[in-house]
Chains A and B, each alone.
Chain A
Amino acid sequence: MASLTANAPVEPSGPRPKRIGPGRYGVYAFLIISALFFLIPLYVMIVTSLKPMDEIRMGNLFALPGSPSFDAWIKAWSQACTGLNCNGIHVGMLNSIKILIPSVILSIAVGSVTGYALSFWRPKGANILFAILLLGAFIPYQVFLYPLVRILSMVSLYNSIPGVVFVHTIFGLPLMTLLFRNFYAGIPIDLFKAARVDGGGFWAIFLRLMLPLSTPIIVVAAILQITGIWNDFLFGLIFAGRENFPMTVQLNNVVNSSFGEKEYNVNMAATILTALVPLFVYFVSGRWFVRGIASGAVKG
């Protein structure tokens, strides 16, 4: 024990706290197992897609490909047969993009305006309206399908891209409204009052004041809508029409075509191709996504 002199720095006394305890090992074990749970299927898919059919028939699911080749990927992209057409799934990808872009933009545009109106302007019956809107989100989609088909065919939008965009916008509305309403509820009401005193109207306040503040929630909304609409199968199948089937529907057709031998490598490649967009969105936006979720909690 060193005695304290006037100039010596004072050291903390007592044992140093242990940094890594058994609890920590448990957490790591859990995390590793969870990661493997999700990564192993992906590994199998990638490995299989790079193998020729001869290798796949040998049944070594986890083995690395003996002679890796991208033939299956090329076939999936441009030659795989969906029903009678053998143009690959790139047609579906184009369709999906044509559906995705207007649907995402429209649903966010409409949802942000309704959320803004409900949280700041509070028209009479706003709460009831909002409750009904939310209720709509909980009713199973199947209930709406037939009436929607009738409505769309009446206005000649059935079996067209605008038709399916319309459906995506409508069904995105409850979630988008909820998202934006809650975000705007976190913005001090004084800001809105000040803008009103300054002479701002409904659109001026929205476009000049609220929208520039909404970047985080727009990113969150975009992520939700892009992944949701890209992965959609049902609406695309029913409302888009044969010419405009999105990628998910075409993938299903590729995988389920039942003449000859199942081409597992082509199916795997097509599946990964279909999953690329959501995968890309998650990788690029992971940080933004968390920021968007947390943004309500901390005052700017």
Chain B
Amino acid sequence: MATVSIRDLEIEFGNLKVLRNLDLEIEQGEFIVLLGPSGCGKSTLLNAVAGLLDVSAGQIWIGGKNVTWEEPKNRGIGMVFQSYALYPRMTVTGNLSFGLKMAKVPKDEIDKRVARAAKILQIEPLLDRRPAELSGGQRQRVAIGRALVRDVDVFLFDEPLSNLDAKLRTELRVELKRLHQGLGSTMIYVTHDQIEALTLADRVAVMNGGVIQQLASPKEIYRRPVNRFVAGFVGSPSMNFIDGRLSVEGGVASFELANGKRIDLAGYEFEKPPEHGRPATLGIRPEQVDLEQRDPSSRPIPVNLTLLEPMGADSLVWGDVGGTTFSVRIDGDAHVQTPSATDAFFQPAYASIFDLASGQRL
């Protein structure tokens, strides 16, 4: 168990700066998820923590020790890869014990630790098999076991579930969470899958362009995204964005659509007092819109519905508001006429408003 502290980290490949002035403090036993689109630098950050990449500037501390230039094996880390990276010519036992043999752990201790890890991960019947004889899920368990036997302080996961099919992914996700609760180790987990991020993490770091955009609890990330990028990246389908401007009259803030129609924003918590006339974007999640007014604080917004997508438990209704695409998630049994023009209702308290130019939350 250890804290991880990344201070002013910078990594460049040639002239390309992949990470810029990155700071990240991870507490002992915390489950941190690095979430972002491909190329955002999340895997680079993980590799730097593992010691597999040279750092251009800044420091990495693990467990109160500066390990910036330390070999991977001396950092107290274990790593699990998307491609499993099992040693093909060794049995499962060989794979699990390789690291211990390298560390010259005595034979009986190795046996004990391999047996324990195999028990935790329920791979005891597979110990004599080779990786080629295992299924994807089993391989990933062995890969996790390889970190487990070494009693590492920090687990690093590089998209560990991305190569698995949907059903297995859900199963292993739950197991990972259980494993974390059981071990209490610090875990850093890289993914581009927001469901994994939101379900697993204590805190999520949403990254883009080599910079952490927001570091917060999954709920906070979902509820109060700090900028338009985070708002658009987290949530599926993506948040609806409608451009317009703010209007403040007599201390009451409202959002003015392009056609001049105003929507009362009573209930929305502004970060700082709103300015009259500031160009802004109104962001509303599809699941926070309804086609009926169920709450007196809900505000109507006129929408043209064009298409219905049934998805089982619920349905998506696609349409537009003044030309911008707009989606609404409704109950799967609800009946909706398409195409039609109607009012959609949302509660300003659950919406987000961003500055049009900078994309920052207002």
**Real binding pair:** yes
A-side residues, CB < 8 A to B, are 188, 190-191, 193-201, 204, 208-209, 212-213, 300
Besides A188-B83, A190-B83, A300-B88, 15 new A-B residue pairs in contact (Cβ under 8 A), listed by A number:
A190-B81, A190-B85, A193-B50, A196-B71, A196-B72, A197-B50, A197-B72, A197-B79, A197-B99, A198-B146, A199-B99, A199-B102, A204-B102, A212-B89, A300-B132
Q: Does B192 contact A (CB under 8 A)?
A: no
Q: Assess A208 versus B77: contact at CB under 8 Å? Given A194-B85, A195-B87.
A: no
Q: Is the CB of A200 within 8 A of B98?
A: yes
**Nearest B-chain residue to A201, judged by Cβ:** B102
Indicate if B73 sits at the interface (CB-CB under 8 A): yes
For the complex of A and B, list the 4 residue pairs with the smallest distance between their C-beta atoms, beginning with the closest: A199-B73, A198-B99, A199-B102, A190-B85
Q: Which residue of B lies closest to A200 (CB)?
A: B102
Contact of A198 among B51, B52, B82, B150 (CB under 8 A): B150
- Chain A facing B: main interface SS: helix
Q: Which A residues are CB-close (under 8 A) to B88?
A: 191, 213, 300
Distance in Å: Cβ of B190 to nearest Cβ of chain A? 13
A217–chain B nearest beta-carbon distance, Å:
14
Closest A-chain residue to B99, C-beta based? A198
Q: Which residues of B contact A (CB under 8 A)?
A: 47, 50-52, 71-73, 77-79, 81-83, 85-89, 98-99, 102-103, 132, 143, 146, 150
Chain B contacts of A197 at CB under 8 A? 50-52, 72-73, 77-79, 99
A197 to B70 CA separation, bound complex (whole angstroms) = 11
CA distance A197 to B52 in the complex (A): 8
11 sample A-B contacts, Cβ–Cβ < 8 Å, listed by A number = A190-B83, A191-B88, A193-B85, A194-B143, A196-B72, A197-B50, A197-B52, A197-B78, A198-B146, A209-B87, A212-B89
Residues of A within 8 A of B132 (CB): 300
In the complex, which residues of chain A have a beta carbon less than 8 angstroms from the beta carbon of B103?
Answer: 199
Q: Which residues of B contact A199 (CB under 8 A)?
A: 72-73, 99, 102-103
Inter-chain contacts of B77 with A (CB < 8 A): 197
A194 to B, closest residue via Cβ: B85
**Cα–Cα, bound, A114→B77 (Å):** 29
Taking a contact as CB atoms under 8 Å apart, the answer to whether B85 and A188 are in contact is yes
Q: How far is the CA of A190 from the CA of B146 in the complex (A)?
A: 14
Contact B85 A196 (CB under 8 A): no
Contacts of A213 in B (CB 8 A): 88-89
Nearest-Cβ distance from residue B316 to partner chain A, whole angstroms? 37
Q: In whole angstroms, what is the CA distance A194 to B81 when docked?
A: 8
The minimal Cβ–Cβ distance linking A123 to chain B, given in whole angstroms, is: 12
Query: Which B residue sits closest to A188, measured CB to CB?
Result: B83
| CB of A186, distance to nearest CB on chain B (Å) | 13
| Bound-complex Cα distance A213 to B132 (A) | 13
**How close is B54's CB to chain A, nearest CB, in angstroms?**
11
Known A188-B85, A190-B83; contact A195-B78, beta-carbon cutoff 8 A? no
A194 to B85, CA, bound (A): 7
What residue of chain A has the Cβ atom nearest to residue B84's Cβ?
A190
Q: Is the CB of A196 within 8 A of B73?
A: yes
A196 to B51, CA, bound (A): 9
B326 CB to nearest chain A CB (Å):
42
**Residues from chain B with Cβ under 8 Å of A195 in the complex:** 87, 98
A193 touches B79 (CB 8 A): yes
Chain B residues positioned under 8 Å from A209 (CB to CB): 87, 89
Complex CA gap A190/B132 in Å reads 16
Central interface residue in A194, A195, A200, A201, by most chain B CB within 10 Å:
A194
Shortest C-beta distance, A202 to chain B (Å), equals 12
Are B81 and A198 in contact, with the CB atoms below 8 A? no
Min CB gap A247→B, angstroms: 38
Give, as a whole number of angstroms, the nearest-CB distance from A160 to chain B.
Answer: 39
Q: Chain A's nearest CB lies how many Å from the CB of B94?
A: 9
- In the complex, the answer to whether A193 meets B52 with C-beta atoms within 8 Å is yes
- Complex formed: what's the CA distance from A208 to B95 in Å? 11
Contact B102 A194 (CB under 8 A): no
Task: State the CA gap A190–B71 with chains docked (Å).
Answer: 16
* Assembled-state Cα–Cα distance A200/B103 (Å): 9
A21, B103: Cα distance in complex, Å: 65
Q: Bound state CA distance, A300 and B71, in angstroms?
A: 30
Contact partners of B150 in chain A: CB under 8 A: 198
A201 to B73, CA, bound (A): 9
- Contact residues in A for B146 (Cβ distance below 8 Å): 194, 198
| A203 vs chain B, min Cβ distance (A) | 11
Measured CB to CB, the closest approach of chain A to B154, in angstroms, equals 11
Contact at B99–A196, with CB atoms within 8 Å?
A: no
User: Cα distance A195–B50 when bound, in Å?
Assistant: 12
Q: Say whether A191 contacts B87, CB under 8 Å.
A: yes
Q: Which residues from A are CB-within-8-Å of B78?
A: 197
**How far, in angstroms, from A300 to B88 measured CA to CA in the complex?**
9
Rounded to whole Å, the gap between the CB of B102 and the closest CB of chain A is 4
Which chain B residues border A300 with CB–CB below 8 Å?
A: 88, 132
| Nearest chain A CB to B335 CB, angstrom units | 42
Which of chain B's residues has its CB closest to A187's CB? Answer: B88
For B47, B79, B146, the residue with the greatest tally of chain A CB atoms inside 10 Å of its CB is: B79
